[in-house]
Amino acid sequence: MLIVQKFGGTSVGNLERIKNVANIVKSYREKGDDLVVVVSAMAGETNKLLEYAHYFTPVPPQREVDLLVSSGERITSALLSIALQSMGVPAIALTGRQAGIKTTSDFTKARIKEIESEKIKKHLNEGKVVIIAGFQGINENGEVTTLGRGGSDLTAVAIAGAIGADKCQIFTDVDGIYTTDPRIEPNARKIEVISYDEMLELASLGAKVMQSRSVELGKKLNIPIEVKSSFEPFKTGTLITKESKDMERIVVSGVAIDRDQARVSIFGVDDKPGISADIFGRLAANNINVDMIVQNVGHDGKANLTFTVPKNELELARVVLEDYNEKASEISFDPKIVKVSVVGIGMRSHSGVAAIAFKALADRGINILMITTSEIKISMVVDEDKGEEAVRALHQAYGLEKASA
């Protein structure tokens, strides 16, 4: 198989860990796989370099920041190549530029435009393990760019697409994606297979592991992504792949909790066109991200509107919407909430999924403050101190502790 493997900062955090990665790569190679390996900077290195930059100014020029921080991944790639070659494994380290990664010019958050993969393929054909410095590319002027958070995952998935790899393995410090956070629900079970869409909706379970943009790219390029642990490299992880009929038998894949939301409710505003546009227009103009929005049908010419914003943007929202203290009969702000979500593509073909959730929470006396649903997700806002209990109730209600049928 042709596999792209990606090792994150913790997996290459020191020289011993890099040697461990070299051993993993060597084992896969000895099984007969052709390998491209994408590496992150050694844990802490990127932050160290950013601190250096901020010694001089709070807002360092982004072009130079990219030139600076891209060094971290170069260093790791060279070291891993040295480690592999010292074990007798033919290898070559390539920078983002050398790997043909062409990006936009948005320094510190560039997007990949194209990968000219001839060089990678040439080295693969010569029997080498090709090691690529993640997180970076060049723009059309040959300037070094970086891809922002999760950039090395993105590099790995994009390269897998460009060279037609059979899969992309993301090695990290956890052994997969779980049905929910095991610190909340000890019966949480590792998911074996999950669809791209479910993974995207379960962002809060996977965010520590994979950024949404990499999952989206995997979906677009149809690259199976396996999340697994660099501490147990031969144990099966979680495979994120395209939907199959088989998956639909499983109604719910996981339960996620998002503690970062705060609620804003505006009661008794005039129920006329333009009010929502005004409110959300102001929030957008101030770069406040709105997540859930619930608006009921108006009554007596008045409407009630509730939505959530990130906790650390709540105070800004309060300022932005100050004049609604007069325009509305009441406006309230509540940071003490959490959002609990149930995700599964089986919801599309199974009825009664939502009812199970509502009953599970009702049975425990947990009040649901807001509900929104999408095709494959039901999200509910509950009081902060009921969040973990809600997760456990839902996990149990859908029988997630059992291995899939």
Q: In Å, what is the CA distance from 38 to each residue of 85, 118, 173?
A: 16, 17, 16
**Residue at token pair 């959300």:** 280
- What is the Cα–Cα distance from 11 to 29, expressed in whole angstroms? 19
Interacting residues with a second copy between 119 and 158 (CB under 8 A): 142-144
> Between 100 and 161, whose beta carbon lies closer to a second copy?
100
Q: Which is nearer to a second copy, 37 or 227 (CB)?
A: 37
Number of other CB atoms surrounding residue 118 within 10 Å: 9
User: Quick check: 224 binds a second copy (CB under 8 A)?
Assistant: no
What is d(CA 138, CA 115) in angstroms, rounded to the nearest whole number? 11
Shortest distance (Å) from residue 31 CB to a second copy: 23
CA–CA distances in Å: residue 337 to residues 241, 294, 372 = 33, 15, 15
Return the residues of window 159-188 that contact a second copy according to CB under 8 A.
none
Nearer to a second copy, 64 or 166 (CB): 64
Answer yes or no whether residue 44 interacts with a second copy by CB under 8 A: no
In the chain, what's the furthest Cα-to-Cα distance? Answer: 79
3-state class (DSSP) for residue 127: coil
Q: Shortest distance, CB of residue 26 to a second copy, whole angstroms?
A: 13
User: Using the rule CB under 8 A, is 61 a contact of a second copy?
Assistant: yes
| Closer CB to a second copy, 60 or 148, in the complex | 60
Pick the binder of a second copy from 2, 33, 43, 49 (CB under 8 A): 49
- The binder of a second copy chosen from 1, 64, 222, 364 (CB under 8 A): 64
Minimum distance from CB of 371 to a second copy (Å)? 49
Contact between residue 188 and residue 179 where contact means Cβ atoms under 8 Å apart = yes
Quickly tell me which residue has 């997630």 as its tokens.
Answer: 400
Half-sphere exposure of 43 (CA within 13 A, CB side): 14
> What are the distances in angstroms from CA 43 to CA 37, 54, 130, 142?
17, 19, 22, 27
CB of 16 to a second copy, least distance (A): 9
| Pick 52 or 234: Cβ nearer a second copy | 52
Instruction: Give the one residue of 2, 75, 221, 293 binding a second copy; rule: CB under 8 A.
Output: 75
**Number of residues in contact with a second copy under rule CB under 8 A:** 34
Closest separation between CB of residue 104 and a second copy, Å? 19
In the complex, what is the shortest distance from the CB of residue 228 to a second copy, in angstroms, rounded to a whole number? 24
Check residue 43 for interaction with a second copy (CB under 8 A): no
Residues 266-325, interacting with a second copy (CB under 8 A): none
Cβ proximity of 325 and 366 under 8 Å: no
The residue ranges of DSSP E strands in 134-212, in sequence order, are: 136-138, 144-146, 167-172, 193-195
* 91-94/101-103 β-pairing: unpaired
Q: Check residue 214 and report its DSSP letter.
A: H
Report if residue 86 touches a second copy, rule: CB under 8 A. Answer: yes
Which residues of this protein are in contact with a second copy, per CB under 8 A? 15, 19, 22, 49, 52-53, 55-57, 60-61, 63-65, 67-68, 71, 74-75, 77-79, 81-83, 85-86, 92-93, 95, 98, 142-144
